Chain A
Amino acid sequence: MAPLLQVEASTKRFGGLAANRDISLAMEAGEIVGLIGPNGAGKTTLFNCVTGYMHPDDGRIVFDGRDITHTRPERICRLGVARTWQVVRAFGRMTALENVVCGALERTNRVVEARVRATELLEFTELRGKHDAPAATLTLADKKRLEIARALATRPKLLLLDEAMSGLTPIEAAAAVQLVRRIHEELKVTMCVVEHVMEVVMPLSHRVVVLDYGVKIADGTPQAIVRDEQVIRAYLGERRAAH
């Protein structure tokens, strides 16, 4: 079976800087893939290319058998890719429920139907009781959950979470990990989870891809990744001889 997502030698340059260079990776349906790397490694650029906010200068991206290299974000969403944002982008002046309704309207034209779906998803993401709160007034943790609910409302096959756990307290982060697991188990959504904190990604992911300076330096099981020389060097720097 062909992979759900296939990135083939994708390169994205900003002026002279290659934010992504020759990146290839594949994601099978049903996987949770962790995408890690130090700040500036090119994780968000890769996300932007996959979701159509940027288009690679070279290479090809195929989702579910379709070439989406030059497709616009709203078309890619329709095909079944949804994302959340590193810096939250909730619709601040709309209520929590309305935010999710907007997502659900991707699959229906009827607002009544969308509201039912949105209510279910607010329940699922444990935001009940906050339906009518303007999104701008929610806590960061709740906004991140709301973004996930809104993305799920579009019924994605692939969900890309861009640092869904960063900036959260340890308790909130643990709850977010729980939520990711439930999305995977109960909704059967394939996921790619970007984090720069390794401890969050490792127990969650079936497979981990590591980027550094725009290049893929490792791709394997969490157990293999933590022992990988290149990964250790990228995170901890060159081992120096003690003086």
Chain B
Amino acid sequence: MTRIALVIGALATIVYPIPLQLQGTTYYQTVGFLVLVNAMLGVGWNVIGGWAGQFDFGPQVFFAVGAYTSALLYVKLGVDAWLGLPVAAAVAALICVVLTYPLTRLRGHYFAISTVAIWMIAQPIGATWEYIGAAQGLFIPVKPRTGVVASALSLQFSGPTKAMGYYYTALVLFAVTLALMAVVERSKLGYYFRAIRDDQEAAEGIGIDSRLYKVIARSITAAVFAAAGVLYAFWALSVFPEQVLELNWSTLPIMATVVGGIGRLWGPVLGAVILIPISQIMSTTLGTGPLAGRGIDLIVYGLIIIVIAAFRPTGLLSLPWSRWFRPGPATA
């Protein structure tokens, strides 16, 4: 049953842009792109927030590190995005190790606010550091590419297939992230992260170095955020502090994770598929026309999230889906 749902979901995800492309619509492909980016971020955040149980409100720092690293490599050294991506992920993970190790002395709310504090420190650095363009940031010049393959290899799509190109790139990165996190979940790391979440003292008593594994968990999250940051930089063709250090790069994935099912591999995916289109639909319907500019769309969007959180705090994935969709009595 679950397998059938997965196959249908995968096929729908792959086919999705084709009818839109034939119609000449790009808007819904961009919505799809944003769903995939946020799903990917949510799957990454789930490692530190869901499995290791440490509330990290500052992962957007690593999104920015990824975006800046790849943009710098491209602008200053001419390194292509795909080569820049693993470098960016590694740089983000490394910075994360250095920043997070001291924080792991803190627990609960204190850990959470310290991640926010680092984000607050990152903002003025981003806004004043001349080498990375300070407040104006970096612009990524588009080099003319001929053909789909050349565009895909350089992660630069332009013209009428731009939205579709980035949609599929996001799909690939999302799928790779999901597959890697599925491996992590079933590995020693996955067990140790959850042990620390459930009881840190008990985890230490059976030989788990809680500080080390928290650092590893957050570095995995950081690497995923950095990879998404690279994608975003080449999609937006620019990187500047207000954009890549925006709070939404953590709140949207975190909300998607919580709404979908925190600590479950597919939770953030379901959450992103539900929340991101709702937010887009709200802003294009309630956010325009006579009510425009009054934030009605955000109010309704917020209410939807509150209702889901109140009604199902363990996430929508924890609903008894298989019972509802199984024909006849349980066969398992």
Task: Assess the B208–A102 pair: CB atoms within 8 A.
Answer: yes
B166 to chain A, nearest CB (A): 37
In this assembly, does A195 line the interface, its C-beta being within 8 Å of a C-beta of chain B?
Answer: no
Chain-A contact segment, one of B191-199, B230-238, B303-311: B191-199
Contacts of B195 in A (CB 8 A): 91, 94, 102
A88 to chain B, nearest CB (A): 9
Most A-side CB within 10 Å, residue of B186, B197, B199: B199
Task: Assess the B198–A106 pair: CB atoms within 8 A.
Answer: no
- Assuming the contacts A91-B195, A91-B198, asked whether A106 and B207 have C-beta atoms less than 8 A apart, the reply is yes
Complex Cα–Cα for A103 and B192 (A): 9
B310 to chain A, nearest CB (A): 21
Task: Assess the B191–A82 pair: CB atoms within 8 A.
Answer: no
Query: Using a CB-CB cutoff of 8 Å, which residues 181-195 of chain A contact chain B?
Result: none
Task: Assess the A77–B186 pair: CB atoms within 8 A.
Answer: no
In this assembly, does B205 line the interface, its C-beta being within 8 Å of a C-beta of chain A?
Answer: yes
Task: Assess the B207–A91 pair: CB atoms within 8 A.
Answer: no
Total number of residue pairs linking A and B with CB closer than 8 Å: 79
Contacts of B203 in A (CB 8 A): 91, 102
Query: Using a CB-CB cutoff of 8 Å, which residues 192-216 of chain B contact chain A?
Result: 192, 194-195, 197-199, 201-210
Contacts of A78 in B (CB 8 A): 207
In this assembly, does B188 line the interface, its C-beta being within 8 Å of a C-beta of chain A?
Answer: yes
Chain-B contact segment, one of A16-24, A147-155, A199-207: A147-155
Contacts of B331 in A (CB 8 A): none
Task: Assess the B206–A154 pair: CB atoms within 8 A.
Answer: yes
Most A-side CB within 10 Å, residue of B197, B204, B207, B210: B207
In this assembly, does A139 line the interface, its C-beta being within 8 Å of a C-beta of chain B?
Answer: no
Contacts of A213 in B (CB 8 A): none
- Assuming the contacts A94-B195, A105-B191, A111-B188, asked whether A89 and B207 have C-beta atoms less than 8 A apart, the reply is no
Task: Assess the A98–B191 pair: CB atoms within 8 A.
Answer: yes
- Our pick among A93, A94, A98, A106 for the contact of B206 (Cβ within 8 Å) is A106
Task: Assess the A85–B207 pair: CB atoms within 8 A.
Answer: no
A96 to chain B, nearest CB (A): 13
Complex Cα–Cα for A106 and B195 (A): 12
Task: Assess the A77–B207 pair: CB atoms within 8 A.
Answer: yes
Complex Cα–Cα for A105 and B208 (A): 9
Contacts of A153 in B (CB 8 A): 206
Task: Assess the A82–B205 pair: CB atoms within 8 A.
Answer: yes
Most B-side CB within 10 Å, residue of A82, A103, A150, A154: A103
Task: Assess the A94–B198 pair: CB atoms within 8 A.
Answer: yes
6 CB-based A-B contacts, threshold 8 Å: A53-B201, A53-B205, A77-B207, A85-B205, A89-B201, A102-B195
Which residues of A are at the interface with B, using a C-beta cutoff of 8 A?
51, 53, 72-74, 77-78, 82-83, 85, 89-94, 98, 101-103, 105-106, 109, 111, 114, 150-151, 153-154
